[in-house]
């Protein structure tokens, strides 16, 4: 039987060769990451996390880091449901909201109840499990898209209820009772306080959030490498086969929903304690999209991916608030993209030089043609930005021209992607890149709030084209 | 001797199509029973009825004298019936060893707390099923061993996928194994190997086997008994030689001979 002369599989036979084929710094990096045991990765995440408040006293940075930890915790809950069990749950944020509101009820003057935080958290987790089970029930009958729209409805109902339950007639009360605080939410919540430790500062909360994130990370990791994790993934791969192999699919789905909801509830409670208040708007669809973006970006079903995803999804929009930093990153990104995509490599250098020369020639011509349209630019605080702005031919009506240029840029990008001839594409890239920096300086850098969204959108689109499985996701195949 | 599995007057129709019609059959422990018949004869439907994917319209299905009707698929698996699928239903994005280990679900007991806390009993159980999975894979010689264990299932060749599916089914520790065309898509050498393997499964692992197969060398080489189906009706039963020469069977496969008057 072991005479392996027939049915030999070429793909498998050459597997190791090809996996060893990555050379250079990327190969070295891949080698290191493979050799590092899992606990070393945990230690690394914890070390970086713990070190942040020691390296900086800037509460803004610590607040952002806390937000990353919170979102990572929430996203790990979602990853359990969507990434492992493969259940497309679009009502997930409602559980986060339930956690937040339950915390608010149990630790504020709104209800007059002030329970110790430890007890509150246990209740929050219990209620999260319960709500997860209830919402999981439709998942037994619905699959895929149908489950998605039903759960989406539940998510919206939660926000609506929290907004509108301000005048509810209850038996035993003569006048309508305000149950949720409506759009004004519930404010002045008790701070997080457990085992004699009370969180007062941003740093305190950061450490609480980090600790919870690490605990959930370990829980997720242990679950994934167990009979339950394997059963969940089997369920995601092929429900019928999982059933036929003795896995009780209904129980497993309900368990995934309940555990995911409990984690979401816990994160919601921490969020409420940190913010000191809850409002219906905290749990709307924008947050849902953000959490989904995190797990999709990081790679569905990948725990390190969730961490990386939340760092990117939270940190990038924050970085883009700083115009100068955003500009530097923007140009760096362009250069890196060029170097990574153009072959042979000297082409990227030639292209950059060409663009610079193109700009230097274009500006005097435009100024000579229409001197009235141009004026000396006001200096900004950054020499880097000034240099670029002076290189570009920025007219007085920068806003209007910038809008036109934006349209032209989109057309150029579409054009460039359609051109097959490499030399023509190279030439077409020159004005495209010029337009890109023109649009950045006249419009994008001026309106960071829109640019942030645009940036994240472009990032997701590019990622989904080049790495549809997410940054750290495993390669996926559908039925072959 | 008591029959391991018994189908009593089982019928199943889909809409107006009668797929299985008043079928009775029984399998004794340690027996290898082959179901043959042309495409659409209802062979796979019989397997789906036994494993609980479908409920019969009439009749009863008994395992060790215990009715399987109304039970869920995973409960039936737990009672000791495992199967492979005609169209291969592996967990493609999971590793080879995980595919097999996942099927130990109903034979393992670690609860949520033991898993989250990684208690010693959980680790022992995990080590035990890993070892067991390797044992099951070792049934196939060198093919599914060593570095291949951690490769995703989609990287396997077609024949290896079939082998992996059998290993996965064995991991549920069945008494009765249902193989749905295990030699489909294999070359003659590999078919021969499958034939040997089925014999080993019975002799070494002590399994009772129901086999659906179109490859008559496999069927002839290993079956204790053969049942031929056509349009959901049993048209012949006996040894391979008896069934293969049966007039009805020949007619079902080739059509009626033109009488020369």
For residues A99 and A70, state if they share a domain: yes
Distance set, CA A282 to CA A184, A202, A449, B21 (Å): 11, 19, 18, 61
Residue A456 lies in a domain: no
- Chain A closest-CA separation from residue B172 CA (Å): 7
* pLDDT confidence bin for A14, thresholds 50/70/90: low
Which one, of A322, A302, A275, A314, lies nearest residue A445 by Cα?
A: A322
User: What residues does B5 pair with on adjacent strands?
Assistant: B27, B63
Is residue A372 in some structural domain? yes
- Does any domain span residue A167? yes
With CA atoms as reference, the chain B residue closest to A476 would be B93
Higher pLDDT, A39 or B113: B113
Contact B172 A248 (CB under 8 A): no
Residue A2 pLDDT level (bands cut at 50, 70, 90): very low
- Structural domain including A199 reads 40-301
Shortest Cα distance, chain B CAs vs residue A224, angstroms: 9
What are the tens digits of pLDDT across the range A103-115?
999 988 888 788 8
Judge whether A476 lies within some domain. no
Closest-CA residue in chain A for B147?
A: A16
Upper half-sphere CA count for residue A432 (Cβ side, 13 Å) = 17
Q: Which helix (H) or strand (E) holds B82?
A: strand B81-83
Contact residues, B window 50-89, toward A, CB-based 8 Å cutoff: 51, 53, 72-74, 77-78, 82-83, 85, 89
Render pLDDT for A31-53 as a digit per residue (tens, 0 to 9): 676 677 778 888 888 888 888 88
**pLDDT value of residue A7:** 42
Q: Is A139 found in the same domain as A123?
A: yes
For A39, A248, A271, the CA distances from B106, given in Å and listed in that order, are 30, 8, 39
Percent of chain A at pLDDT > 70 equals 91
When CB atoms are compared, the residue of A2, A237, A244 closest to B92 is A237
Whole-number pLDDT of residue B178: 94
CA torsion, ordered A94, A97, A102, A105, to nearest 10 deg = -130
* B122 touches A at CB < 8 Å: yes
SS in 3 state form for chain A?
A: CCCCCCCCCHHHHCHHHHHCCCCHHHHHHHHHHHHCCHHHHHHHHHHHHHHHHHHCCCHHHHHHHHHHHHHHHHHHHHHHHHHHCCCCCCCHHHHHHHHHHHHHHHEECCCCEECCHHHHHHHHHHHHHHHHHHHHHHHHCCCHHHHHHHHHHHHHHHHHHHHHCCCECCCCCCCCECCCCHHHCECCCCCCEECCEECCCHHHHHHHHHHHHHHHHHHHHHHHCCHHHHHHHHHHHCHHHHHHCCCCHHHHHHHHHHHHHHHHHHHHHHHHHHHCCECHHHHCHHHHHHHHHHHHHHCCCCHHHHHHHHHHHHHHHHHCCCHHHHHHHHHHHHHHHHHHHCCCCHHHHHHHHHHHHHHHHHHHHHHHHCHHHCCCCCCCCCHHHHHHHHHCCCCCCHHHHHHHHHHHHHHHHHHHHHCCCHHHHHHHHHHHHHHHHHHHHHCHHHCHHHHHHHHHHHHHHHHHHHCCCCCCCCCCCCCC
User: For residue A78, is pLDDT > 70?
Assistant: yes
Decide which of A239, A269, A301 is a domain's last residue. A301
Q: Which residues pair with B32 in a beta bridge?
A: B209
Q: Is B105 helix (H, G, I), strand (E, B) or coil?
A: helix
Domain count, chain A: 3
Clarify whether residues A121 and A149 are in a common domain: yes
**CATH number, domain containing residue A231:** 1.10.3470
For residues B50 and A53, the model is more confident at: B50
Residue B82 β-bridge partners: B177
Please check whether residue A309 lies inside any domain of the structure.
no
Asked if residue A180 and residue A274 are part of one domain, the reply reads yes
- Does residue B65 register a pLDDT over 90? no
A191 and A264 inside one domain: yes
Q: Is residue A155 part of a domain?
A: yes
Of the pLDDT bands very low, low, confident and very high (cuts 50, 70, 90), residue A231 is very high
Question: Is residue B135 over pLDDT 50?
Answer: yes
Q: Are residues A203 and A220 in the same domain?
A: yes
Who among B83, B116, B154 is closest to A223 (CB)? Answer: B116
Residues A183, A280, single domain; the answer is yes
Would you say residue A209 has pLDDT above 60? Answer: yes
B159 has a chain A CB within 8 A of its CB: yes
Q: How confident is the model at residue A13 (pLDDT cuts 50, 70, 90)?
A: low
CA A217, CA A223: separation in Å to the nearest integer? 10
- A110 with A174, same domain: the answer is yes
**Are A385 and A365 in the same domain?**
yes
Residues 6+ apart with CB under 8 A from B154: A477, A480, B92, B93
Answer whether residue A6 shows pLDDT above 70: no
Q: Tell me whether residues B189 and A7 touch, CB distance under 8 A.
A: yes
Complex ipTM value: 0.91
Taking 60 as the threshold, does the pLDDT of residue A279 lie above it? yes
Overall pTM surpassing 0.80 (yes/no): yes
Pairing of strands B5-14, B32-36: unpaired
Look at residue A24 in the predicted model and tell me its pLDDT.
61
pLDDT at A15: 52
A351 shares its domain with A369: yes
Q: In terms of domains, do A7 and A141 share one?
A: no
Q: What is the pLDDT of residues A303-345, one digit of tens each?
A: 888 998 999 888 888 887 777 788 888 888 888 888 888 878 8
């Amino acid at each position: 039987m072991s005479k392996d002369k027939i049915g030999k599989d070429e793909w498998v036979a050459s597997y190791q060769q090809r996996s060893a084929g990555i050379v250079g710094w990327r190969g070295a990096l891949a080698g290191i990451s493979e050799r590092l045991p899992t606990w070393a990765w945990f230690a690394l995440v914890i070390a970086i996390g713990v070190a942040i408040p020691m390296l900086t006293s800037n509460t803004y940075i610590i607040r952002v880091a806390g937000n990353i930890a919170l979102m990572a915790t929430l996203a790990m809950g979602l990853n359990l449901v969507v990434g492992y069990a493969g259940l497309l749950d679009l009502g997930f944020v409602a559980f986060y909201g339930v956690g937040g509101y339950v915390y608010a009820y149990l630790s504020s003057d709104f209800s007059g109840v002030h329970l110790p935080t430890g007890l509150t958290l246990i209740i929050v987790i219990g209620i999260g499990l319960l709500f997860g089970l209830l919402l999981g029930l439709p998942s037994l009958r619905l699959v895929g898209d149908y489950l998605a729209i039903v759960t989406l409805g539940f998510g919206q109902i939660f926000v609506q209820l929290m907004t509108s339950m301000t005048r509810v007639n209850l038996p035993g009360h003569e006048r309508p009772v305000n149950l949720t605080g409506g759009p004004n939410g519930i404010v002045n919540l008790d701070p997080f306080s457990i085992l004699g430790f009370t969180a007062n500062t941003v740093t305190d909360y950061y450490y609480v959030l980090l600790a919870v994130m690490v605990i959930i990370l370990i829980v997720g990791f242990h679950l994934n490498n167990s009979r339950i994790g394997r059963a969940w993934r089997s369920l995601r791969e092929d429900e019928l086969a999982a059933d036929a192999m003795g896995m009780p699919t209904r129980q497993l789905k309900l368990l995934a929903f309940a555990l995911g909801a409990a984690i979401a509830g816990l994160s919601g409670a921490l969020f409420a304690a940190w913010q000191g208040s809850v409002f219906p708007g905290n749990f709307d669809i924008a947050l849902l999209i953000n959490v989904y973006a995190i797990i999709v970006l990081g790679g569905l079903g990948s725990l390190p991916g969730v961490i990386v995803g939340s760092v990117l999804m939270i940190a990038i929009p924050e970085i883009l608030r700083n115009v100068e930093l955003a500009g530097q990153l923007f140009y760096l990104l362009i250069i890196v993209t060029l170097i990574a995509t153009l072959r042979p490599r000297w082409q990227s250098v030639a292209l950059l030089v060409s663009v610079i020369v193109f700009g230097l020639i274009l500006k005097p011509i435009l100024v000579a043609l229409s001197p009235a349209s141009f004026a000396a630019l006001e200096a900004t605080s950054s020499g880097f930005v000034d240099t670029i702005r002076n290189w570009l031919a920025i007219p007085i009506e920068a806003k209007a021209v910038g809008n036109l240029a934006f349209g032209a840029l989109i057309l150029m990008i579409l054009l460039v992607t359609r051109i097959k001839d490499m030399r023509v594409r190279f030439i077409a890239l020159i004005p495209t890149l010029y337009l890109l920096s023109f649009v950045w300086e006249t419009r994008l850098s001026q309106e960071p709030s829109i640019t942030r969204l645009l940036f994240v959108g472009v990032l997701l689109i590019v990622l989904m084209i080049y790495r549809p499985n997410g940054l750290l996701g495993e390669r996926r195949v559908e039925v072959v | 001797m008591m029959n391991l599995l018994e189908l009593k007057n089982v019928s199943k129709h889909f809409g107006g199509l009668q797929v299985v019609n008043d079928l009775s059959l029984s399998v004794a422990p340690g027996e290898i029973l082959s179901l043959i018949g042309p495409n659409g004869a209802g062979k796979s439907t019989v397997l789906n009825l036994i494993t609980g994917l479908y409920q019969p319209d009439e009749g009863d299905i008994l395992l060790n004298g215990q009715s399987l009707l109304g039970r869920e698929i995973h409960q039936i698996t737990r009672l000791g019936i495992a199967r492979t699928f005609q169209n291969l239903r592996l967990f493609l994005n999971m590793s080879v060893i995980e595919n097999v280990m996942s099927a130990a679900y109903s034979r393992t007991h670690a609860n949520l707390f033991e898993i989250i806390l990684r208690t010693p009993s959980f680790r022992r159980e995990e080590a035990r099923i890993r070892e067991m999975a390797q044992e099951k894979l070792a049934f196939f010689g060198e093919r599914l061993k060593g570095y291949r264990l951690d490769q995703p299932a989609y990287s396997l060749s077609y024949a290896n996928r079939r082998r992996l599916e059998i290993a996965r089914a064995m991991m549920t520790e069945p008494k009765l194994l249902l193989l749905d065309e295990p030699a489909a898509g294999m070359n003659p050498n590999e078919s021969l190997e499958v034939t040997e393997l089925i014999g080993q499964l019975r002799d070494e692992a002590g399994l009772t086997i129901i086999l659906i197969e179109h490859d008559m060398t496999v069927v002839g080489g290993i079956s204790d008994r053969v049942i031929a189906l056509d349009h959901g009706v049993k048209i012949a039963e006996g040894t391979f030689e008896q069934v293969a020469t049966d007039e009805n069977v020949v007619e079902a496969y080739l059509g009626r001979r033109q009488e020369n008057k």
